[in-house]
Amino acid sequence: MLDAFIATLSPMLVMFSCIVIGFVLNKRKALPDNTSTVLSKLENSVLVPSLIINTFMSYCTVASLKQQYKMMLYCVIAAIVAIALAYLLSGFFEKEEYKKNIYRYALAIGNFGFMGNAIVPAILGQEFLYDYLLFTLPLNIAVYTWGITILIPKTGEKKSPIQNLCNPFMLATLLGIFLGLTNADSYMPSFFHTTVSNLSACMGPVAMVLTGFVIGGYDVVGLLKNKKVYVATFLRLIVLPVFFIGFLMILGTDPKTLTLALFAFGTPLGLNTVVFPAAYGGDTSTGASMAMISHTLCIITIPLLYVILTSII
């Protein structure tokens, strides 16, 4: 068990090292102030879509979609339960409605994208990333419909759910599925495959550097003083993933789906609770505190929960 824990800990430490690099770069003013905006746009417009296209083009087939529809259904059920629990729990953290929304999003949706997409292939293998992307597709839909809506302050301009869904991630997913179903790997020029493959390899490190850079823009001591965030982090990293694993076990979920659910629901509190409030003049201190504390502690919690899960399934 110790060997498995150390093997799982290693990629987590790689991700944390990238976070530290981003943090130091910000504190030393080595990069412009708008670096977080640039890196965020690079991630969402280029690197994540490249990862999706590369993965779906390589693994998506009619047979695999038929096999995995039940897995996505399990995620739909879990996402609905997660959002319901988030509404129930948020009232214990804040009374003001918008601040409640910050906790609602954080408790319902972890950093399953940037961090999950990076650690799943590192821990499980590249072939599992396709399954993970399919499993978390309902969570991504929830982010771009419900999530964005509650994170934008009332004074901000809000788009319809359909408009929010017309984004690089969803377009890349559709393109990747099309290329996979048409067996594009066999007739696409080699430079195209090499390009998207190389760009997708940058997704994880750049995302973690972005995380560290965003955290580095705040007073660390001040972020550490928010006691409520420690409770939210404990729920996000320990209580909720254990709950969902047990919930899915009761539903009779297979071991692979349980493992994917662990990484989807056991990842730390994401950056959207900083990015969207910042874009519309909302409070970002709570989101930054969540990101810093949870991304630090997940180095231990994710390997620990993964080793425990693999020992019982």
Query: In 3D, which of 71, 61, 181 has the Cα closest to residue 136?
Result: 71
Q: Above 70 in pLDDT, residue 133?
A: yes
Mean pLDDT of 6-13: 90
3-state secondary structure of 269: strand
* Distant-in-sequence, close-in-space partners of 65: CB < 8 Å, separation ≥ 6: 134, 177
Give residue-wise pLDDT tens across range 271-297: 888 877 776 767 788 889 999 999 999
Give residue-wise pLDDT tens across range 104-127: 999 999 999 989 999 999 999 888
Give residue-wise pLDDT tens across range 139-163: 999 999 999 889 887 765 667 777 8
For the record, the structure tokens of 69 come out as 């529809």
CA distance 274 to 286: 8
What would you measure as the largest C-alpha separation in the chain, in angstroms?
A: 57
Q: Are 309 and 245 in contact (CB under 8 A)?
A: yes
Domain ranges of the chain: 2-312
Q: In angstroms, how far is CA 224 from the centroid of its own chain? A: 22
Q: Are 224 and 287 in contact (CB under 8 A)?
A: no
Topology at the third CATH level for domain 2-312: Na+/H+ antiporter like fold (1.20.1530)
Q: Are 123 and 248 in contact (CB under 8 A)?
A: no
DSSP 253: -
3-state secondary structure of 110: strand
CA distance 55 to 39: 22
First-to-last C-alpha distance (Å) of the chain: 14
pTM of the entire predicted model: 0.92
Handedness of CA 6, 7, 11, 17 (dihedral sign): positive
Which residue's structure tokens are 């559709």?
174
Mean pLDDT of 73-94: 95
CA distance 214 to 275: 9
Tell which phi-psi region holds residue 282, choosing left (phi > 0), alpha (psi between -120 and 50) or beta: beta
Q: Greater confidence, 51 or 2?
A: 51
SS3 string of 157-183? CCCCHHHHHCCHHHHHHHHHHHHHHCC
